[in-house]
Amino acid sequence: MTDDMNGSVNDNVKRTITHLTDGRELIYYDRRDDVDHSAADARDLPPRSPASEMRYDPLLDEWVAIAGHRQTRTHLPSAKECPLCPARPGSEIPSPYEVAVFENRFPSFSFNPGDRDLDRHGHVGGHGDVGEHGDVGGLSEIRPGIGRCEVVCFTADHDASFASLTDDQVGLVMETWADRTAELSALPGVEQVFCFENRGAEIGITLPHPHGQIYAYPYVTPRTRRMLDTAARHAAGNLFADVLAAERRGPRVVAANEHWSAFVPAAARYPFEVHVYPHRRVPDIPALAAEERAAFGPLYTEVLRRLDGLFGVAMPYVAAWHQAPVSYRRDLAYLHLQLFSIRRAPNKLKYLAGSESAMGAFVNDVLPEEAAQMLRQVEITV
């Protein structure tokens, strides 16, 4: 069923909002005006899962989401059973599409608290910062895992990858990210929006179809808070801008164009890690100008092809957009993308073992300068 909330994200993109049979939103993004997304979801789906729980860790001053319902999510289906391929039985997307976004059926965060009422801040039953379960013992607390998780399908082509997308298709994905960031940032209780892609079985994907996810968190994530707190202590200027300026003069640049630079950071934690920065400081993807959005695709897909060309195998990676939180220290934030792989050699992975997992103390097996040089030397076809 298509509702009346359709419209253009900008002059070149049409957005069509529909709903699946369990009430979740499905949103199509198209570059054409004559598309037909009237096909309805014919599945008989169970009721939506209630919101997960968030539990507070007083030792680390962090929140942890507890989402037991995610244990039953779809895991590595065959190509003929892929729920992200359009217009087939069991698919989450009943119509052919260019880019499609839908609420995750197995979300880590959601605005579905069951019988509990939310106030305008996203809290349950007016209890403020403590959920209806209150204190769970010791110094811990429970809150409902209020927020939203979405799946972003980059293309209907099951056998494609982000690296194989055309510049126009990457541009449409960028417009989708920008629209979803703006929409999700406006939801009550949301403090940070995170767009990301997990690629490869080694990373732990559950669906091989080219797709990413978006998390709308009800708190500022630990890494973001730490980066912004560090930036607040920086003596002069903007810390991120100063890092970018220094890296652009150094030996670790992998690729660059008029609007973006991609480099291996001096203190890379992973064997192959690349950061991609716009040359102009902006807080988030919606703040990028049209020419900056257009320039991102050619540079980013070049970097991805270099990663794939390193060892002649599809490189597993995580691609993570670091955007400004909704309100916390937005003036210090600098949009950038962190791309990293756990593969350190053709047949070897970098496991996050004792030092990394228990102490958060990384030991990298590959010298960042050598990693940058290896990536620059990859011969890629355009």
Do the annotations mark residue 279 as ligand-binding?
Answer: no
- Rg of the Cα atoms in the chain: 21
Residue pair 217/326 in contact (Cβ under 8 Å)? The answer is no
* Catalytic residue status for 121: no
Distance between CA atoms of 193 and 216, rounded to whole angstroms?
A: 5
Q: How many residues does the chain have?
A: 382
The label of the residue with tokens 């609420």 reads 103
Rounded to 5°, the CA angle 29-34-38 comes to 70
Residue pair 345/205 in contact (Cβ under 8 Å)? The answer is no
Residue pair 323/285 in contact (Cβ under 8 Å)? The answer is yes
Q: By three-state DSSP, how is residue 18 classified?
A: strand
Q: By three-state DSSP, how is residue 196 classified?
A: strand
Dihedrals phi, psi of 272, to nearest 5 degrees: -130, 105
Do the annotations mark residue 149 as ligand-binding?
Answer: no
As to burial, measured by CB atoms within 10 angstroms (0-12 exposed, 13-18 middle, 19+ buried), residue 74 is: middle
Residue pair 113/146 in contact (Cβ under 8 Å)? The answer is yes
The DSSP output letter for 116 is P
Nearest residue to 42 (alpha-carbon basis) of 90, 96, 86: 90
Do the annotations mark residue 209 as ligand-binding?
Answer: yes
**Cα dihedral 26/320/244/307 (nearest 10):** -110
| Cα-based distances in Å from 269 to 74, 205, 266, 295, 363 | 31, 21, 9, 27, 7
Instruction: Copy the structure tokens of residue 204.
Output: 């732990």
Among 211, 259, 275, 336, which one carries the catalytic annotation? 211
Do the annotations mark residue 133 as ligand-binding?
Answer: no
From the annotation, which residues make up the binding site for Zn(2+)? 82, 85, 158, 209
From the annotation, which residues make up the binding site? 82, 85, 158, 209
Q: Give the residue numbers annotated as catalytic, written as ranges.
A: 211
